[in-house]
Amino acid sequence: MAGQHTRLLAAVAVAGLVLAGCGGGGGAGDEVGRLEIMAPADPGGGWDQTARAMQAAIDGAGLADSVQVSNVGGAGGTVGLQKLATERSESYLMVTGLVMVGAVETNEVDKRLEDTTPIARLTAEDEVVVVPAESPYRTIEELLAAVREKGTGVSITGGSAGGTDHILAGMLLQATGIDPGKLNYVPYSGGGESLAALLGGKVDAGISGVGEYVEQIKAGKLRALGTSGPKEHPELKVPTFTKLGTGVELINWRGVVAPGSISVAAKDRLVELVTAMHASPQWQEELAKKGWTDTFQTGHDFSTFLTKEIGRIKPVLQEIGLVS
């Protein structure tokens, strides 16, 4: 009961701040009541799902006058990242995550994540490797053996080049003694496109966050071969890659950042808004529905985490041959 009371107070307090921002006075908070969340990818993928889950939770909890979601796909989110740098609104968020950390390194971009204002880390999610239900590959060992034998004759789809899905594919090949140069990786900006390619038989296998494929797995249209977390995923009765002896573990995380130009006061308001969203029953329902792990973190803690992730990923990309 005490926890519910605390969450209610937080939601009410932030709602008051948001609505107060809609009044006159010309201050930085005037637009806070009209929040925009950019998903830097095409519809259907994890970033789009995150943005729309946030929209549903904030709307449902009454924390903003309106919440709009826009999609700016391309180059592992770095097209959206460049757009964020030109945004002057102080009530604007962009979904980001591990995919973008890698994509910044594999694409030549002017603006990096270091140029944004970190707001919050929200979720973590296991990756899963799948094949169509009619595929001859019934285990990850069989799929990797086919890559070893056929090389680029085996196609694996996933998100943008250099992102989490691509990194995991390279790590699996490297861990099993297969030259990452044999990888035929077919990137898509949105999870919907990669799913369509899988279901249409255009590719042999796919890699994505569990949430993007779980419904098709449950429906029997896709077969899961393994997951990338430290322990078995509760919704998928398949082994982890660590249990299979590869030593490969990779967790995809997602969060939100704001333009680097916003004021300290605007940053504080956005942090309070997202904190109230996180405390709301609506967001907790979204987490449960999507099977996302709650890794909520704001302020200095998230900034420190982001800096460490940026430093961690480049050597991994170098090891699997994605950057020099």
In this prediction, what percent of the chain has a pLDDT beyond 70?
90
Same domain for 17 and 88, yes or no, is yes
What SS3 string covers 112-166?
A: CHHHCEEEEEEEEEEEEEEEECCCCCCCHHHHHHHHHHHHHHCEEEECCCCCHHH
- The mean pLDDT of 198-218, rounded to a whole number, is 95
Same domain for 8 and 119, yes or no, is yes
- The mean pLDDT of 152-158, rounded to a whole number, is 97
Question: Is 310 contained in some domain?
Answer: yes
Helix then strand count (H, E) for the chain reads 11, 10
Q: Is the dihedral of CA 109, 298, 51, 202 positive or negative?
A: positive
Of 227, 242, 267, the residue at which a domain comes to its end is: 227
What confidence score (pLDDT) does residue 189 get?
Answer: 75
Model confidence band, residue 10 (pLDDT cutoffs 50, 70, 90): very low
Question: Is 234 contained in some domain?
Answer: no
Backbone Cα Rg of the chain: 20
Same domain for 216 and 288, yes or no, is no
Helix (H, G, I), strand (E, B) or coil at 249: coil
What confidence score (pLDDT) does residue 78 get?
Answer: 96
Same domain for 278 and 217, yes or no, is no
Looking at the structure of the chain, the number of domains it has is 2
What confidence score (pLDDT) does residue 235 get?
Answer: 87
Per-residue pLDDT reduced to its tens digit, 231-264: 999 889 899 999 999 999 999 999 999 999 999 9
In this prediction, what percent of the chain has a pLDDT beyond 90?
75
- Of 41, 36, 103, 34, nearest to 71 by C-alpha is 41
Same domain for 131 and 119, yes or no, is no
Residue 196 clears pLDDT 80, i.e. is over it: yes
- Span of 67-71, 139-143, 190-194, 221-225 with lowest mean pLDDT: 190-194
Q: What is the DSSP letter of 31?
A: G
- Return the CATH number at 100: 3.40.190.150
- Of residues 239 and 4, more confidently modeled: 239
Burial class (CB in 10 A: 0-12, 13-18, 19+), 281: middle
Residue 225 clears pLDDT 50, i.e. is over it: yes
For residues 255 and 123, what is the distance between their CA atoms, to the nearest angstrom? 7
The answer to whether 66 and 33 are in contact (CB under 8 A) is yes
The answer to whether 123 and 302 are in contact (CB under 8 A) is no
- Of residues 14 and 125, more confidently modeled: 125
Burial class (CB in 10 A: 0-12, 13-18, 19+), 111: middle
What confidence score (pLDDT) does residue 5 get?
Answer: 42
Q: Calculate the average pLDDT of the chain.
A: 89
- Of residues 18 and 281, more confidently modeled: 281
Same domain for 8 and 116, yes or no, is yes
Residue 202 clears pLDDT 80, i.e. is over it: yes
Per-residue pLDDT reduced to its tens digit, 306-321: 999 999 888 889 888 8
Same domain for 85 and 185, yes or no, is no
Same domain for 115 and 260, yes or no, is yes
Same domain for 278 and 307, yes or no, is yes
- Span of 11-15, 95-99, 145-149 with lowest mean pLDDT: 11-15
- The mean pLDDT of 56-72, rounded to a whole number, is 96
Question: Is 241 contained in some domain?
Answer: no
- Return the CATH number at 214: 3.40.190.10
- Of 269, 254, 288, nearest to 63 by C-alpha is 269
Residue 9 clears pLDDT 70, i.e. is over it: no
Same domain for 16 and 105, yes or no, is yes
For residues 150 and 140, what is the distance between their CA atoms, to the nearest angstrom? 15
Residue 15 clears pLDDT 80, i.e. is over it: no
What confidence score (pLDDT) does residue 291 get?
Answer: 83
Same domain for 136 and 192, yes or no, is yes
What confidence score (pLDDT) does residue 254 get?
Answer: 98
- The mean pLDDT of 193-221, rounded to a whole number, is 94
Model confidence band, residue 324 (pLDDT cutoffs 50, 70, 90): confident
Per-residue pLDDT reduced to its tens digit, 254-295: 999 999 999 999 999 999 999 999 999 999 999 998 889 999
What is the residue range of 138's domain?
A: 126-227
DSSP percent split of the chain into helix, strand, coil, nearest 5: 50, 20, 30
Model confidence band, residue 32 (pLDDT cutoffs 50, 70, 90): low
Give residues with Cβ within 8 angstroms of 268, minimum separation 6. Answer: none
